[in-house]
Structure 1
Amino acid sequence: MPEKKLDSAHYYNIAQLRVESWNTLKSESTKLHSSARGSEDEKNYKKNLQQLFKELEGVECFFAFPGLSCIENLREMLRRQEHTALSHKIAEITKNLVSDRYRSNPDFLEDEDPGAELTDKGEYTEVAKKNYFEVMFVEDISQAEENKLRHDLKEMRLSNEQFAYGIVVQRSFEDALIALQFNFNIQAVVIRYAPPYHSKKITPVIKPFIQNILKLKFGSKPPTELGPILGTMVKKFRPELDTYYVTDTALGNLKDSTLKTFRRIFYRTEDLQELHLTVIRGISERYETPFFSALKDYSKKPTGIFHAMPISRGNSVFKSRWINDFGNFYGRNMFLAETSSTTGGLDSLLQPTGSLKKAQQKASDAYGSRNTYFVTNGTSTANKIVVQALVKPGDVILIDRDCHKSHHYGLVLAGAYPVYLDSYPIEEYSMYGAVPLEQIKEKLLQLKKAGRLSLVKMLLLTNCTFDGLVYNVEKVMQEILAIKPDMVFLWDEAWFAFAGFTYNYKQRTGMFVAQKLFNKYQSDSYREEYNAHIKNLKKNEIPGLPNPDEVRIRVYSTQSTHKTLSSFRQGSMIHIWDEDFRKKSENTFMEAYMTHTSTSPNYQMLASLDVGRRQVQFEGYELVEKSIELAMVLRAKVNDHPKLKKYFDVLTIGNFIPKQHRKSGIKEYYNSKEGWNRMETAWEQDEFVLDPTKITLHIGRTGVDGDTFKNRYLMDKFNIQINKTSRNTVLFMTNIGTTRGSVTYLTNALLKIADELDQEFKTLSQEEGNNRRDRIKSLTEDFPPLPDFSYFHHSFQAVPGVPGGNIREAFFLAYNEENYEYMALTGCLPAMEENRILVASSFIIPYPPGFPVLVPGQVVSKEIIRFLTALDVSEIHGYRADLGLRIFKDNVLNRQKTVSSMGSMGNNSKKKITNLKN
């Protein structure tokens, strides 16, 4: 019988390894319980359990439950040969660990009989239910001192407190960081004076999961400095946590940086009760939801309704004989909270002074911005608000062509000149990647050469893309600021709202990088680096670092909270880290905000944004890490299962990102032979990375296109909902609401689809078989070319021969139906062969992929027509199949050319010519 050992290589993270290890322990203890006394099997099972206990010690030392004391108790039961009791105890622990039920009963960790608090239904009683968290104490103390600390803090708890906490003690700098990475329950950290640096608990089992910690170079620092340094590292990796410092250092000798790092500093002589009350207070402040609480209070008030909205309090619903089922479906609280009143503590979204203002301030703290604004009609509106707030007519914006259509419409409203950037194509899967940094710099230098750099206002990029491609935000911002030090960055993070709550992801978000670069450029060390960089530049070489005397950090991020976090539909946020906001942009931002924001916002949506913020501050790290884990589990399952591999491939890094953009050289997250590749190096170095929670499944070998696969198989047969497909792929996404059960259900559905395809292929006639093989060949070998942005017609170019087009002029020119005509797609290529230039008069947006392949004023290329002809999607926005492509008439373009050439004339002259269009 082979010896049972924990194999780290085949687990994505420590949480997955830990759960599987306890399940293995349960299996082995059950076998031991069933084995004959004195048999060879019994000896082998004992040996396996002893080995598992030994290896689990290296994991459980970072957790309160089950923890080291539990492992020792189980080992003692094994020594006493209490096999039946041991099996039952391990099964009970495993059940509570996997289900997280122990966190519903804070006393579970200390109860001899944890089942005593259970109801008949197996649930904990209301008395037992409390919000449980753990406090990590960092200090090199003895076990006796730890036991006393645990006892003293337990004595201070009151039965009526809303929160309860357990104690996790770590005795070194490295151990503290490992615990923070492993243990999701930790919500507060108390650093007691000067912990030693090196860990004595690092085992081969956990080593693969902590390489980022082992790379740190603080071991040579004096012990007295390690406490404050550890405080800064906590803020780097888990900034949502409260940090406290206990020291003997006199106030006059404490550095300013230390005072700013910690929420509060204590001295050893102070009462432990003060520390306990401070910890509870910190948790209470994060738990507070100002607007949601105000809305709940409002709903409880007896109110007379003499304003708009008959639905308020449910009056028009519950007394109705015809729509009371609507009220019963949603419940009474939904209607009790409906009002158009901004009094009673509910506040005004357009000019908040109370609960909404506090809620947005708390969101700003949580997401790392300087300012945060709630948006109740989606990120489409958030995008338009930011563009209108910062851009005026005639400004130039660098924008990725395949960004969300709301940005393009925003440019029309603002009257800005877009310079479109092309993402690299992934033709094999009929999708685009992301915009290489070199292309952005090239366009910027072209504008500089043409003398138009001063007009460039904003760089607008999608991060991450629908398909999961994520930019190296720090590298992009730094190199662009070296050319244009006052550039404004708008990062469309509609699909990336969750990214700020785990470190790998966070370092590629707009808000985190803005703060990081601001601090960096303020430092003396950066000024020395910059001076050395400038000194070493070759003649005519472009600087790669921004001038610290000129650079301004101006960053905006728009996020669809409802897409990846807990919020009602259309709940979004705008996050701002703009050091010039009050001086340059606040007034115009508020005007744009009021332009696009309803005066009748949905209060339930606002409350959900408030509550969603509370959730990510307490469990965002845990939930995001679990969503990544489940995505990795699904990837591994498809890669390893012979039936699934027959028809499906999970596309990974090498499929999406060309080699030249992958400095790390990593091609995939997982393969069955070598196990898991760590993400950390790629996320630190590579120009682009792939978000693993976006799982793109290649289905070409099924012979079924993406749209048909989505509707006929996933939706109709299994009620599995997805957002995006391409010709030969479907996209699945895990999020903080994804469960192990849902991943299992999806896997089961794919297996059933594979079985169905097997049966279907066997029944095909020869002709049907040939058709299916042709279809498979089309989906796996024949790829329609993906067109780049062509160019704006010279009538709509801001400056002839220079990037930038007048999309607004072209858009409104098409308001007059006499200015355009329709041409069938089949007639476009012959017209081009006769040297006719076709110019689009509307946006043409195939869905999927959902971005414009043509914008108003753009010249239609042969590649675009071939692409539109080859598309097999169900809808193309802006295109009418019965009429054809809407293009400008030639005589209108000639008139427009004349108008454009008069750009240097006075206003009266321009008005006369412009009248020709009408």
Structure 2
Amino acid sequence: MQETSHTETPYTALGFYHKISQLRADTWNALTRDLGQLVRLKDESRMRQLVKAIDVKLTRLEIIEDYHAFPSKEDFRHIWSLFQRGEYDALDKVVRRLVRALISESYRRRHVDLSETDADDESLETLDALNQLRRGHPASNSAAQPYFELLIVDNCSAQEEEVVREAFHNLRRPEDRFVYDVVTVRSFEDALIAMLVNPNIQACLIRFDFPFKSKYNLSALRRYLEGLSEQSLEEQSEADRSILLSSMIHELRPEVDQFLVTSADVESTASRDLRHFKRIFYRETDYIEQHHTILRAIDDRFRTPFFDALREYSKKPTGVFHAMPISRGKSITRSHWAGHMIDFYGINIFLAETSATSGGLDSLLQPYGPIKKAQEYAARAFGARQSFFVTNGTSTANKIVVQALIKPRDIVLVDRDCHKSHHYGMVLAGAHVSYLDSYPLNDYSMYGAVPLHEIKKTLLDHKRAGTLDKVKMLLLTNCTFDGVVYNVRRVMEECLAIKPDLVFLWDEAWFAFASFNPTYRPRTAMHAARTLRDRYRSEEYRREYEAWKAEFDALDPDDDATWLERPLMPDPDRVRIRVYATHSTHKTLTSLRQGSMIHVYDQDFRQRAEAPFHEAYMTHTSTSPNYQILASLDVGRMQAEMEGFELVHAQVEAAMSLREQLYSHPLLQKYFRVLKNSDMVPAAYRESGVESYYDPVTGWNQMEEAWARDEFVVDPTRVTIAIGNTGVDGDAFKNEYLMNKYGIQINKTSRNTVLFMTNIGTSRGAIAYLLDVLMKIAKEFDYRWEESSRPERKIIERRVHSLTRELPPLPDFSRFHDAFRRGAETAEGDIRSAYFLSYDEENTEYLSFDNGELQAQMREGRDVVAASFVIPYPPGFPVLVPGQVVSEAILHFLQALDVKEIHGYRPELGLLVFTEGALADPPVY
């Protein structure tokens, strides 16, 4: 083994841990190709070049593999030995065998001995595949023991490391539910990098005796180690260093089970704050106790209480004398005509179909058994205090939360371009709505998000009007459909400084996956809520607040700049953390369609919200919920806890690979422009100054800086492409090119953009297919131009100009008509009264803007007021809500739209508006 490779050639590219698994796979494959050429070549000059290239690749791989159990350090010593002895034929066989084991993941199912040179792995892998086919699950690993890796942090010798690894290996039994291997690292930094680059790690044993510094140059840790120094860590006691490491591991990978091994006074150690350790072991504790404790901890996360109960129920011979003829499949199996349904779905889905809440099952409306336990596990996974399953989508989840917390005439601050379920939720709750305007991206016909300045100013308006006590909730979308993500913690902290008991509802329908990535997680609602609660309870924060308050009190409280131009801090004695998040689990994690969750981190939930929440839950939840959806939510939670880090990591890698190709390929750039961070977030909201996460020279190394500092960031897994240069609008491009020709599905477009979203199911093959399709489409546009006549080219040029230059500015919310406003000084409106006023036909009329009728009325001085929601799709946000005054800007926007689908608008009649008489003295509903 080449010891000099560690220090003389530090592999700083480990800093780009976002793409480490692709780098690992690609390097092994490149090494295989180099060795294949080397063993066939006779040209000595070319052979010397290949030997140097192989040396570089082995050096690179050794650093990466140092953090993985397979291949082991002993395996790598064997590889180096063969290389240094020039036994290239044997090395070629060993590496090919190793790569096959990595690709097929056969190392998870059986021991792969690389010291044996007879390569019979191909036949073993074929046997594995045949066995899976015989079980009827060619893509399933369900029959195999799930595999994970145990990280041990201990500054031990290589010999001691092998002894420990062998000791744990010898404890394996065929009846164990799981199988694991051991990875040992020798420093604080190495433990953190192992957590980042090795998703197989599910448990960690930390021993007291280890140094701080790694022998590698690990630039990936720069963000995580900010404020720490080698000297300060080395001066800490061994116990303090272990506790700090445990805390940092928890921030990176909260799902990982941690255990402390100490030779110190174990009783006094146990009395310290060891919240992230599941158990403390004395160093003399035998390995078998550690082994069983680790397996038991993994089993606790692997359980799926409701799914398991449903599977057990499906096996019982049950007589059905109640509703649902399809239960147990009876109405299908007895049918002469419907048997193809069983052929398609299989019998199990029918055996598990029931409306019973007994026999080991549970009631969603009043859970006491496996559903209750499954929801508790979900709360643990997502960092919530309580979690609730919803079987009819996040639209319903949003309405449940709003109805639970909002009474008629409570004021709610709402992002105007949020999902329509929120607008309808305001109608149902009778809220007085104050709409907040997001910053517009006029060049792409989409909105960004609501600036903090706008939110604070609205709260201050209510404070000065004496109505701040009526403001109950702030409702925002995080992240938006287009991928704009808030600095959630900063928004909540500064708003709570103005109104300490403000309730937050974060619609994270498209952001459920974010809880399982260390870069994304701090911008989730539940993580921010927990962080703020811990912060406000600390003495350190109290000292910070007192210093800030002394400085703040010296300023003019009536000057807007006092509040708007500087960060605000809430009073720790008054602040209450009341945070709710809704997740479309089915959109970004594993769940059947309409599987969603509500997550709660509300200090006042039990005292003030629990009873109305359950009433709202009863109101909107079916008494016959779909058990298959509930089971899928349970399994989806388990999968996210066990392998969410790995899957989300792969999702980010896939998106970055797609972006990288689109950024750099000349033909693709001609027609498709990927929107960067700077395209979607104006400079005023990018304190970091980062314009793009990717640089051709330095790679993907700026994302963390932006996500740590900026008011808004863009989720890189959402790839928005401007297609104006094609001359085809977004809706036509989606349907005529992507779907009809190539079977590629997307569901978000604007007038001149299309959105491609990667998810945890996106493979590298899928990315390659998409790039191939975009290449074919780009060539098609090239051929179209080459073969067009001069008049046809003018038509194309006009279309391109229309989609790149003639874009109507997005309209802001105009105002509620005075008939629906209850306060003269603030902007909120009674949307419920406006909505129900339109139910009486005599209160409304249609006015057409196509023939100028509506414009003429406006010129005569009439306030034309919308009587319904008007929602163009795309882009899918309401440009008018009931009670809103129609403005010139809104009319101009509607006239410029070239989409076919405008909900709430009837082209043959016009816009539905209120008659002037109806607005004279409307009733309050």
TM range (shorter): over 0.9
Q: Is the 8 A contact 2:307 2:634 kept in 1?
A: yes
Of 583-592 and 874-883, the range deviating more from structure 2? 874-883
Q: Does 1:173 align with 2:175?
A: no
Counterpart of 1:909 in structure 2 is none
Q: How much has 1:13 moved relative to structure 2?
A: 2.5
**Cα distance, 1:349 vs. partner?**
0.1
CA distance in 2, matches of 1:252, 1:69: 37
Q: Does 1:21 align with 2:27?
A: yes
CA deviation map 1:193-226 (0-9, x unaligned): 23211112x14xxx34332245350531314211
- 1:53 is the counterpart of 2:66: no
Alignment of 1:249-328 (within 5 A): 249-254=264-269, 256-328=271-343
Query: 2:221 — aligned with what?
Result: 210
Is the Cα contact below 8 Å between 1:190 and 1:245 reproduced in 2? Answer: yes
Deviation readout 1:382-404 (Å, 9 max, x if unpaired):
00000000000010001100000
Report if aligned partners of 1:192, 1:246 keep a CA contact under 8 Å in 2: yes
Q: Which residue of 1 aligns with 2:520?
A: 505
Residue 615 of structure 1 aligns to a residue whose secondary structure is: helix
Are 1:69 and 2:56 matched, yes or no? Answer: no
**Which is further off, 819-828 or 444-453?**
819-828
Q: Does 1:656 align with 2:661?
A: no
Q: Is the aligned partner of 1:886 residue 2:912?
A: yes
Could you say which residue in structure 2 is the equivalent of 1:30? 36
Q: TM-score, normalised by structure 2?
A: 0.94
Of 865, 869, 887, the match for 2:891: 865
Gaps of 5+ in 1: 901-913
CA contact (8 A) 1:291 1:355 kept: yes
> Residue 16 of structure 2 contacts residue 220 of structure 2 at CA under 8 Å; is this kept in 1?
no
- CA 1:30–1:660: 2 relative to 1, 3 Å: same
Alignment match of 2:793 (pick from 735, 757, 769): 769
Aligned residue for 1:696? 720
Which amino acid is the alignment partner of residue 789 of structure 1? F
3-state SS, counterpart of residue 254 of structure 1: helix
Q: Could you tell me which amino acid in structure 1 is paired with residue 73 of structure 2?
A: L
Question: Given that residues 12 and 676 in structure 1 are in contact (C-alpha distance below 8 angstroms), is that contact kept between their aligned partners in structure 2?
Answer: yes
1:902-917 aligned within 5 A: none
> Counterpart of 1:520?
535
Shift in alpha-carbon separation, 1:661–1:31, aligned structure 2, 3 A: same
- Which residue of structure 2 lines up, in the alignment, with residue 460 of structure 1? 475
CA contact (8 A) 2:98 2:114 kept: no
Q: Which of 332, 357, 360 is equivalent to 2:347?
A: 332
- 2:457 is matched with 442
The CA deviation at 1:256 is 4.6
Cα distance in 2, alignment partners of residues 727 and 106 from structure 1:
55
Between the aligned partners of 2:397 and 2:30, the Cα distance in structure 1 is 49
User: Do 1:668 and 1:677's aligned partners in 2 also have CA atoms closer than 8 Å?
Assistant: no
Shift of 1:733: 0.3
Distance in 1 separating the partners of 2:902 and 2:699: 42
How is 1:314-463 mapped onto 2 (pairs within 5 angstroms)? 314-463=329-478
The aligned counterpart of 1:91 is 96
- Would the aligned equivalents of 1:194 and 1:223 in 2 still touch at CA under 8 Å? no
Equivalent position SS for 1:675 = coil
Amino acid at match of 1:55: R
CA 1:390–1:114 in structure 2 vs 1: closer, same or farther (change >3 Å)? farther
Please give the alpha-carbon distance, in whole angstroms, between the structure 1 residues aligned to 2:113 and 2:898: 58
User: How far did 1:142 drift?
Assistant: 1.1
Distance 1:532 1:344 in 2: 60
SS in structure 1 opposite 2:413?
Answer: strand
SS in 2 for 1:263: strand
- CA 1:830–1:867 in structure 2 vs 1: closer, same or farther (change >3 Å)? same
Which of 585, 591, 615 is the aligned partner of 1:591? Answer: 615
- Structure 1 residues 6 and 20: alpha-carbon distance in aligned structure 2, compared to 1, 3 A threshold: farther
Contact 1:370 / 1:577 at 8 angstroms: preserved in 2?
yes
Pair 1:391–1:195, CA change in 2 (3 A):
same
Cα deviation for residue 155 of structure 1 reads 1.4
Secondary structure class of the residue paired with 2:827: strand
**Structure 2 residue 765 is matched with structure 1 residue 741:** yes
Amino acid at match of 1:48: A
In structure 2, relative to structure 1, the CA distance for the partners of 1:775 and 1:833 (3 Å cut) is same
Matched-pair contact (CA < 8 Å) for 1:194–1:226: no
Flag the 1:331–1:124 CA change in 2: closer, same or farther, 3 A.
Answer: closer
For structure 2, the 5+ residue unaligned runs are 1-8, 133-140
Rounded Cα–Cα distance in structure 1 between residues aligned with 2:70 and 2:449: 44
Letter in 2 for 1:522: R
Deviation of 1:414 after TM superposition, in Å, equals: 0.4
Question: What's the counterpart of residue 907 of structure 1?
Answer: none
Partners of 1:793 and 1:417 in 2: CA distance: 13
Distance, in Å, in 2 between the alignment partners of 1:533 and 1:421 is 28
Partner Cα separation in structure 2 for residue 114 and residue 228 of structure 1: 46
Deviations 1:368-387 (A, max 9, x none): 00000000000000000000
Cα deviation code 1:727-783 (max 9, x no counterpart): 111000000000111111111111111111111222222222111100001111111
- Name whichever of 432-441 and 540-549 sits farther off: 540-549
Counterpart of 1:570 in structure 2: which amino acid?
Q
Deviation per CA, 1:648-679: give whole Å up to 9, x if none.
11111010000010011111122435533321
Contact 1:398 1:458 in 2 (8 A): yes
Structure 1 stretch displaced more, 574-583 or 633-642:
633-642
SS in 2 for 1:891: coil
Aligned with residue 549 of structure 1, among 573, 580, 597: 573
- Which residue, 107, 112, 121 being the options, matches 1:115? 121
Contact 2:835–2:882, Cα closer than 8 Å, also in 1 = yes
Letter in 1 for 2:220: F
The Cα offsets for residues 529-551 of structure 1, whole Å up to 9 and x where unpaired, read as 10010111232234710000000
SS at match of 1:670: coil
Alpha-carbon distance change, 72 to 270 in structure 1, aligned in 2, over 3 angstroms: closer
The answer as to whether partners of 2:332 and 2:338 remain within 8 angstroms in 1 is yes
Partner of 1:682: 706
Q: Which residue of 2 aligns with 1:908?
A: none
Within the alignment, does 1:856 sit opposite 2:882 as a pair?
A: yes
Partner residue, 1:82:
87
Name the amino acid aligned to 1:867: F
CA deviation vs aligned residue, 1:433-478 (integer Å, no higher than 9, x gap): 0000000000000011110000000000000000000000010000
Q: CA RMSD in A?
A: 2.0
Q: What residue is the counterpart of 2:201 in the other structure?
A: 186
Alpha-carbon distance between aligned partners in 1 of 2:518 and 2:10, rounded to the nearest angstrom: 30
Shift of 1:71: 2.6
Q: Distance in 2 between matches of 1:322 and 1:889?
A: 56
Do residues 575 (structure 1) and 599 (structure 2) align?
yes
Q: Secondary structure at the match of 1:852?
A: coil
Q: Which amino acid aligns with 2:48?
A: K
Q: Percent identity?
A: 51
2:626 aligned partner: 602
Cα distance in 1 between the residues matched to 2:288 and 2:672: 59
- Aligned counterpart, 1:905: none
Cα distance in structure 2, aligned partners of 1:268 and 1:762 = 76
Q: Aligned partner of 1:862: which letter? A: E
Q: Normalising by the residue count of structure 1, what TM-score does the alignment of the two structures yield?
A: 0.94
Q: Does 1:843 align with 2:869?
A: yes
In structure 2, how many angstroms separate the alpha carbons of the residues matched to 1:857 and 1:790? 11
SS state of the match for residue 284, structure 2? coil
1:634 corresponds to 2:646: no
Give the equivalent residue in structure 1 for 2:6. none
Deviation at 1:10, TM superposition (A): 8.7
Q: Give the alignment partner of residue 566 of structure 1, picking from 590, 601, 623.
A: 590
Q: CA, structure 1 residues 535+11, in 2 after alignment: closer, same or farther (shift >3 Å)?
A: closer
